Amino acid sequence: MLAKRIIPCLDIKDGQTVKGTNFVNLRQAGDPVELGRAYSEQGADELVYLDITASHEGRKTFTDLVKRIAAHINIPFTVGGGINELSDVDRLLNAGADKVSINSSAIRNPNLVDEIAKHFGSQVCVVAIDAKQTGDDWKCYLHGGRIETDKNLFEWAKEVNNRGAGEILFTSMDHDGVKNGYANQALSILAERLTIPVIASGGAGRMEHFRDAFITGKADAALAASVFHFGEIKIPELKHYLCKQGINVRL
């Protein structure tokens, strides 16, 4: 059985790491390169860097930062934000990224998923899905949670699975930054319907929340931000806790 992964997420705005609640009220969390290096040394399995205003502002993810990250970090990392075409992917991979995360651009142009998988391999293509529950339905959102679409979370996830995505990064917008736990019911539905790994995002507040995402939510990886950035949970302690809970993690 594959080891479950712990993934710190660094949201980047104006070259700095920031963190908010429900996608708003951002506050500074530190230098993205230094934070990433610290997480690498602490035993994080991967990192995710998201340029959170790139799509909204129509910018490209800044390549120089990716080069700096690659020079200082020895674990795989994913970069997302403002990726709209194959040349963007090529540029970021050449700068040192291991994977790219696409969200708004995939919804607007689903063929981009097929193209990335065909040209660079499925393992490079992470499709991020920001979704919010409305009644019994889960709707997907564009531009960092600013624009609602008519796409259903589970149908869209299945479509990108079939198109060749390598992983799904699912963020529950209602759970984001609230620290009450992940959206485990939705996660478990995704895990049952998809043939690719699912990364849980949004809601980590305690070590038990990671355990529940893996056991109840059947997630393959759990992503978190503020609990790591502000020292509320230490990665080595989290991994030892999960190990004691019978969850296979890399120590």
Per-residue pLDDT reduced to its tens digit, 2-20: 999 999 999 888 777 876 5
- Which band of pLDDT confidence, cut at 50, 70 and 90, is reported for residue 58? very low
Mean pLDDT to the nearest integer, 40-64: 77
CA–CA distance, 50 with 18 (Å, rounded to integer) = 10
pTM: 0.92
Mean pLDDT to the nearest integer, 219-239: 94
Residue 106, SS3 per DSSP = helix
Of the candidates 77, 80, 68, the one whose C-alpha atom is nearest the C-alpha of residue 98 is 77
- Which band of pLDDT confidence, cut at 50, 70 and 90, is reported for residue 84? very high
27 has pLDDT over 60: no
Pairing of strands 16-21, 167-172: unpaired
Report which secondary-structure segment, H or E, holds 73: none
Residue 249, SS3 per DSSP = strand
180-212 in b/e form (b: 16+ CB < 10 A) is: ebbbbebbbbbbeebebbbbbbbbbbbbebbbb
What tens digit of pLDDT does each residue of 104-153 get? 999 999 999 999 999 999 999 999 999 999 888 999 998 777 899 999 99
Residue 150: the pLDDT is 93
Of the candidates 147, 144, 138, 242, the one whose C-alpha atom is nearest the C-alpha of residue 187 is 138
CA 78 to chain CA centroid, Å, is 8
Find tokens 């403002």 and name the residue.
Answer: 82
- Which band of pLDDT confidence, cut at 50, 70 and 90, is reported for residue 23? very low
Mean pLDDT to the nearest integer, 145-167: 95
Percent of the chain surpassing pLDDT 70: 91
38 has pLDDT over 70: yes
Find tokens 């624009």 and name the residue.
Answer: 147
- Which band of pLDDT confidence, cut at 50, 70 and 90, is reported for residue 189? very high
Residue 13: the pLDDT is 81
Please name each of the domains of the chain with its CATH number. Answer: 5-244 (3.20.20.70)
Catalytic residues: 11, 130
Residue 187: the pLDDT is 98
Residue 64, SS3 per DSSP = helix
Residue 176: the pLDDT is 76
Residue 145: the pLDDT is 76
What tens digit of pLDDT does each residue of 205-221 get? 999 999 999 999 999 99
